[in-house]
Chains A and B, each alone.
Chain A
C-alpha cells in the first residue's frame, strides 16, 4: 500500500442529518483536515481511505441521499502533492490513480442519490470527487474551481478527463482542463454554473441550508435538473483546434497537455471504465516523468520559496514607509507611482525637471486609476483615495518627509549618482533610496553618498503591474534595516522578491542576455533568422527569441547586452547585426512574421548552424553562466535562479524554471561537470 508518512489527513466525517420534508435522514460527509482555510483539504492515501470508510458508513445508514461538502471556505483542493515525490515506482503511481478511481466511483455508482455541495475552493481531485456525484451545488463564495493538473505536469487522473467533457461538452472541458491551467486561470463559481460544472449557484450566506433543501427537492422530484445534451459532432473539431493552439504555443513540449488532449479525445466514445483505465496509465506515465517532478518543484518554489525569500533580514528590522517619492515622471516612473500608491496606500509624489513632464506623469496615473475604476477593478471610494494620494512637483523638497524614494531616471550611472547626491541633502539620513536600474552597479551609485548604507536596488520587470518578480539588490554597503525595509515594501507591493548580489544585470537579464547573445552569434555566423527563431521551440518557452527581443525593444536589449559585454567580454558578444537592426529602427516582427526588411539588412556570415546546434549552444551558455553566477554568489541557490526565471521571464514549470531541465538534459554535467540540483529534488528519485 502506498502511504505518505507526512500526510496531513483530510478526514471524511459522516453525520446523519434530518432534512425537512424527507422521512429518512441524509448522510452528510464533511471533508476537514482539522486546520483552518490556510491549510486546505487534500487527498492523500489516508484521506482517500477515510472517504472510502465514510461512504460505507453513509450508505449503511440507508439515507435519503448522500452529500459531500468541505470545511469553511475550502471544499478540497486536490491530491496531496507533497506525497508525489515519494512515489518511486510506476506500480505505486498506478496504485494512486486506481485508489482514487475506486473510491470516487462509489459516489457515481451509488443507487442512493449523491450530491456535492461545493462550498469553497474545489480544485483537481477535489473537483473530481464532486464530478462523480450525481448533482452539484456551488456557493457564490467559493474562491476557485478548476482542474489545474496540466500546469503541474499531470492530468486530471481521478475521472476528471472523462466526466467533465461528458458533462459540459468538449469546448468547456478543453477550457477547464487545458486552456485555464496553461494561463493560470480558474473558474469563478458563476462561470462554473454557467458552464454546467455545477447544477445550481447558491448564495454563500446560507449555502449549506439551501443546498440541503435543494437536494431534498431533487430527491422528492420537486426540483428538475436539466442539463443540455453534449454535442458529440463538434467534439473532434474542437480538440483539433485546441491541439493546433497548443502546438503553436508549446510545440509539443508539455507532455501533460498532450496526454490531456488524448484523454479528452478518448472520452467521446470510451466507456467510463476504459476511460479511467487510460487515465490511470497516463497519470502513472506522467508521475514517473521528469517533467511532472520539475513542475511540482516549480510549483513549490512559487508557492513557498517566493513567499519566504532566502537571505532576507528579519522583518522586524524594517522601517515604516508612510510616504514614497518617485524621481522621474516618465512612463516607468508613473507606473511605479501607481503601483506604490495602490499597494502601500500612502502618499506618492513624483518629481521631474519641468512642470509639463510632472503633469504628464500625474495625468497618466490618474488616467490609469480612472480606467481601473471604469472596469470595476477599483471601487469609487478607493479610486478617489488613490487620486488624492498621487501628486507631482518640480521641487524635490517634497521628498523631505518621504521614507522611501525610488528613482526611474535614464540608465546612466553619472545621472543617477547626481540624483542621489541632490536628494541626500533633502531626505532624512534613514530614508531608503531605491534604484530601479536593470544593469547599473548599485554600489557604485551609492559610493559617494554620506549614507550609502540606505541604497538598495529594486529591479522590476515590465509591465510592473503584472510581472510578479522583484530582484532586490544588496549593494556592498547596504545595511540590514534598508534591506529589510525593501523586502517589506516588496511584499506589500505583492511581488515575489529574490535577494541578489550587486552583479551586472542581476539574474534574469543576465541570463536572457547570455541566451540572446548566443542567438545573435548564430545569426552573425549566417544562420537564417527563421532557423534561429524556431530553434528553441522544443523547450516550449513562452516566446520565441526574436519575439522576445521585439518585446523588450532591440535598443534596450542592446544596451543591457553592451553592459554585460563590457563586464564579461569573453562570454557576451556585441553583435554587429543587432547594432544594425537598432540603428535602422526596424521592427523585428511584422504581422507575426519576421520582418523581411530585417532579414534583408542582416550581414550574414558563412558558417550557418542548424537549429539543434543553436539550441545546444544557447543551453550550454545558460548552464555555464548559471554555474558562474552560483560560484560568484549572485543568488543563494539554484532554486533562486529558477524562481527568477519562472516569475521574471515566464519560463515554464515543465522545465522547472531552467536548472532542472539543464540537469535532466545532461547539459549541466557536460558543460559544468556537475548537476545543479541533486536527483530527486526536481526529478525522479534514483
Chain B
C-alpha cells in the first residue's frame, strides 16, 4: 500500500507554572497538574472537537503513585475527554515530553491518527529522583557504566573534567544570564501566555493560585560564587548553574497539517526532523551534540540554518558544551532568549514541551527566522533534538 508522509504541526502548548519541590505544589497531585494543562489546551482551542483527539501521550520519569496508572489514559479520562480517546504513559527521563511529541508525530506522519496530545509531568517533591529504582547489579559488576552516571550532578562535573575550557566563572555567568533573561521576559509578559493557573492548597493557609514560576530568583556573580558544590568537593556544579528540583506539567496539541487547517487550528510550528542519540552515560550532558548532528543531517540543514535555539538548561556546562561545539557565543541572542531551566526550573519529563511552546512563541515574533531547534540532554547518556520550521517565515 503506497503511503504519503504527512506534515506534522505543533498547534499549541501550555504549561503550569513550575514549582519548587516541597513548595507551592506540595499538596497538589501530579496528575492534576497535567490534567489542568490538557483541559486548558482544549479550552484555548474550542474549534477542536474533543473526540477528534486520537491519542494522549503523557511522560513521567517516575511512573508510580499519582504519576502511575498509565497516566496518559487516566489523565485523558480525568480531563473530561471522551472515553473513546486512548492514552499511554511514556518515559525517557528528561526528554519524556519530547519523546511523547516525536512518537505521536510519527503516528500522525504515517497517517495513523490526525490529532494527538503530548505532554509530561514530574512532581519531584512527591517523587524524588531515583524513587524506587533498582539498578541491575551487572552495571557495577561488569563496569558497564561508571557509577557516577546515575547521579546527574556528577555527570555534569565529569563533563567539566573533559571540557576544561568551560570554567566555573563561565557557568556562573551563564546561570546569572538565564535568571536575568527570565526576569526580563516576565516583566515584558512573554512567559505568562504559556501558563495555566493552578489552584494550590495548603492546610494552614487555605487555597491559593499558582500563576508564576516559583524558582526564578535574583542573584549575582558574587552570590553564585559562594554556593556549595554538592556533587564534588571544590567542584563547579552548584544550584546556581543548574536547574533545581521542580514540580510541573506541560501539554501540547500535535496535528496533521491538513487536518489542522481544515479545523481552523493554529499552526505554530512544522516538524522538520528529530534525532535521539546515546553517549557515554557518565557524560550525559554531551548528548545534545550528536543528537543535533543527526537531526540536522536528516533535515539536510547545517547549524547555520538555525535561527533560534531552545536548549534545556539541566546544567550550564552542558549548554556551554553544545555552544562551544557549534561555535556559538555564550550570550548569543538566538539561544534561550527568555532564559531557561536554570531560572524557571526543570520538572524532568515535562520540560521538552516547554521548550517547544516557547520556541513557537519566538517563531511568531520572528518571521525572519525559518528554522529553530529544541534540544536536551537525557539521563543514562542520551541527547534529543527536534528541528522545527516557522510557518510564519516570510522568505528571504
Residues in A lying within 8 Å of B, measured CB to CB? 13-15, 17-20, 28-30, 32, 34, 69, 72, 203, 205-209, 212-213
Contact = CB atoms under 8 A, between A and B. Distances in A.
Given A206-B36, A209-B197, A32 B203 contact: yes
Given A20-B192, A203-B80, A208 B209 contact: yes
Given A17-B209, A18-B211, A18-B212, A205 B204 contact: no
B317 to A, nearest CB: 35
Contacts of B209: 17-19, 28, 208-209, 212
22 contacts: A13-B205, A13-B206, A15-B205, A15-B206, A17-B208, A17-B211, A18-B209, A18-B212, A19-B211, A20-B211, A29-B206, A30-B206, A69-B207, A203-B80, A205-B35, A205-B36, A206-B199, A207-B199, A208-B199, A212-B197, A212-B199, A212-B209
- Interface centre among B40, B204, B208, by most chain A C-beta atoms within 10 angstroms, is B208
A18 B39 CA distance: 21
Nearest to A14: B206
Contacts of A13: 204-206
A14 B206 CA distance: 7
Contact of B206 (A18, A32, A205, A212): A32
B291 to A, nearest CB: 36
B56 to A, nearest CB: 15
B243 interface: no
Nearest to B78: A205
Given A34-B203, A205-B35, A28 B208 contact: yes
Contact of A206 (B39, B204, B206): B39
A69 B209 CA distance: 13
Contacts of B206: 13-15, 28-30, 32
Contacts of B198: 209
Given A20-B197, A209-B199, A28 B36 contact: no
B45 interface: no
Contacts of B207: 15, 17, 28, 30, 69, 208
A205 B79 contact: yes
Interface in B167-199: 192, 196-199
B24 to A, nearest CB: 11
Nearest to A30: B206
Given A17-B208, A28-B209, A72-B201, 20 more contacts: A13-B206, A17-B209, A17-B211, A18-B211, A18-B212, A19-B197, A19-B209, A19-B211, A20-B211, A28-B207, A30-B205, A32-B203, A32-B206, A203-B80, A205-B35, A205-B39, A208-B199, A208-B207, A208-B209, A209-B198
A207 B204 CA distance: 21
Nearest to A207: B199
Nearest to B197: A209
A552 B203 CA distance: 53
Contacts of B40: 206
Interface residues of B, number: 22
B interface, by DSSP: helix, strand, loop or mixed? mixed
Contacts of B35: 205
Contacts of B208: 15, 17, 28
A75 to B, nearest CB: 12
Interface in B237-270: none
A205 B201 CA distance: 14
- Interface centre among B36, B39, B192, B209, by most chain A C-beta atoms within 10 angstroms, is B209
B80 A205 contact: yes
Contacts of B203: 32, 34
A32 B27 CA distance: 15
A59 B80 CA distance: 37
- Interface centre among B36, B80, B206, B209, by most chain A C-beta atoms within 10 angstroms, is B206
Interface in B201-234: 201, 203-209, 211-212
Interface string B23-52: 000000000000110011000000000000
Nearest to A12: B206
A452 B192 CA distance: 75
A150 B39 CA distance: 41
Contacts of A32: 203, 206
Nearest to B209: A17
B139 to A, nearest CB: 42
Contacts of A20: 192, 197, 211
A203 B79 CA distance: 10
Nearest to A208: B199
A34 B79 CA distance: 28
A209 B80 CA distance: 16
Nearest to B211: A18
Contacts of A29: 206
A32 B208 CA distance: 14
Contacts of A28: 206-209
B100 to A, nearest CB: 21
Nearest to B206: A30
Contacts of A19: 197, 209, 211
Interface in B315-359: none
Contacts of A207: 199
A225 B36 CA distance: 26
A306 to B, nearest CB: 31
B300 to A, nearest CB: 42
A213 B197 contact: yes
A511 to B, nearest CB: 49
A208 B198 CA distance: 9
A20 B194 CA distance: 12
A212 B211 CA distance: 12
Contacts of B192: 20
B288 to A, nearest CB: 34
B192 to A, nearest CB: 7
Contacts of B204: 13
Nearest to A213: B197
Contacts of A34: 203
Nearest to B32: A205
A356 to B, nearest CB: 43
B245 to A, nearest CB: 24
- Interface centre among A18, A28, A206, by most chain B C-beta atoms within 10 angstroms, is A206
- Interface centre among A17, A34, A72, A203, by most chain B C-beta atoms within 10 angstroms, is A17
Contacts of A30: 201, 205-207
A334 B392 CA distance: 71
A203 B201 CA distance: 18
A30 B36 CA distance: 21
A32 B202 CA distance: 11
Contacts of B196: 209
A208 B207 CA distance: 9
A34 B206 CA distance: 10
A586 B204 CA distance: 68
- Which 5 pairs from chain A and chain B are nearest by CB? A30-B206, A13-B206, A208-B199, A17-B209, A30-B207
A61 to B, nearest CB: 14
A29 B205 CA distance: 9
B190 to A, nearest CB: 14
B47 to A, nearest CB: 20
Contacts of A69: 207
A213 B79 CA distance: 18
A14 B207 CA distance: 9
A204 to B, nearest CB: 10
Contacts of B211: 17-20
Contacts of B36: 205-206, 209
Contacts of B201: 30, 72
A209 B197 CA distance: 6
A19 B195 CA distance: 12
A590 B209 CA distance: 63
A106 B28 CA distance: 32
A636 to B, nearest CB: 40
A18 B207 CA distance: 12
A32 B36 CA distance: 24
Contacts of B197: 19-20, 209, 212-213
A212 B207 CA distance: 11
Nearest to A29: B206
A151 B203 CA distance: 33
